[in-house]
Structure 1
Amino acid sequence: MEYIGEVIKKAEFESRYASMVEAGEVDFYFLSLRDECFIDARNYSNNSRFINHSCEPNCAIEVWKDSGVKRAVIVALDDIGRLEELTFDYNWWDTFDAANFQCRCGK
């Protein structure tokens, strides 16, 4: 499954994130591609934006190139059981100060 949304640069991400925090928003749909680019899935997305974080995920994000275009693809790390929740590690501590990310996965 591809994680789709609007591809934005780091400065735009920082501006949007700050505005959302200031407005009291608590749901974020940003994905860091670790090369100063982010995907904002808030307004343009698919169901992949609802995959939750886990410190022990069963999926991972891989960046694939398709005709020169980078795509963030969610891949299984192991067999996933029927009705098992899909999760991946958001790695937000690479993007933010770790104090700003509060893990609630229970792992």
Structure 2
Amino acid sequence: MIVEYIGQKIRSLVAEEREKAYERRGIGSSYLFRIDEHSVIDATRRGNFARFINHSCQPNCYAKVLTIEGEKRIVIYSRTVIQKGDEITYDYKFPLKMTKSTVSVGAKSCRGYLN
């Protein structure tokens, strides 16, 4: 285990409205991480370093939703041994129904998209 993705737990409809509000305010990046179809963690204003973990098509970590004492939480785990100075990454796996966001991380298996 590397870190828990921490922020404010909100409903999906609230997350959609916040995302639009963040865009209107010029906040280029929001840190919304979907737990399930009903809930999202919003780490845009409060959170820990987990919100700064970047995407990779060949990540060295993965995210997993765990239920702890009846509450769903997002935890980031390592796939490999991570050396000091290595960047921590995971696959964002954005929903396929979203507009494709291009990416070029230089990995051999890079899909070219976040979703």
TM-score class normalised by the smaller sequence: 0.7 to 0.9
- Distance (whole Å) between structure 2 residues aligned to residue 66 and residue 75 of structure 1: 16
**What secondary structure is seen at the aligned counterpart in 1 of 2:65?**
strand
- Distance (whole Å) between structure 1 residues aligned to residue 40 and residue 82 of structure 2: 27
1:1-40 Cα deviation digits (max 9, x unpaired): 1000011111111101111122222122111113331110
Counting matched residue pairs gives 105
In the alignment, which residue of structure 2 is the partner of 1:74?
A: 76
1:31-83 Cα deviation digits (max 9, x unpaired): 11133311100122111111111111111111112111111100001221221
In the alignment, which residue of structure 2 is the partner of 1:38?
A: 40
What fraction of aligned residue pairs are identical, expressed as a percent? 33
What runs of 5+ residues in structure 2 fail to find an aligned partner?
108-115
Structure holding more helix per residue? 1
Q: When the two structures are superposed, what TM-score results if normalisation uses the length of structure 2?
A: 0.81
- Distance (whole Å) between structure 2 residues aligned to residue 73 and residue 22 of structure 1: 30
**What secondary structure is seen at the aligned counterpart in 2 of 1:56?**
coil
2:86 aligned residue (84, 87, 97): 84
Q: Report the AA paired with residue 98 of structure 1.
A: T
Q: Report the AA paired with residue 105 of structure 2.
A: C
Equivalent positions of 1:1-107 (< 5 A) are 1-92=3-94, 94=95, 97-99=98-100, 101-107=101-107
**What secondary structure is seen at the aligned counterpart in 1 of 2:67?**
strand
Q: Structure 1's 91 and 8: CA in aligned 2 closer, same or farther, altered over 3 A?
A: same
Q: CA RMSD in A?
A: 1.7
What runs of 5+ residues in structure 1 fail to find an aligned partner?
none
Q: When the two structures are superposed, what TM-score results if normalisation uses the length of structure 1?
A: 0.86
Tell me how far 1:104 sits from its aligned partner.
4.3
**What secondary structure is seen at the aligned counterpart in 2 of 1:11?**
helix
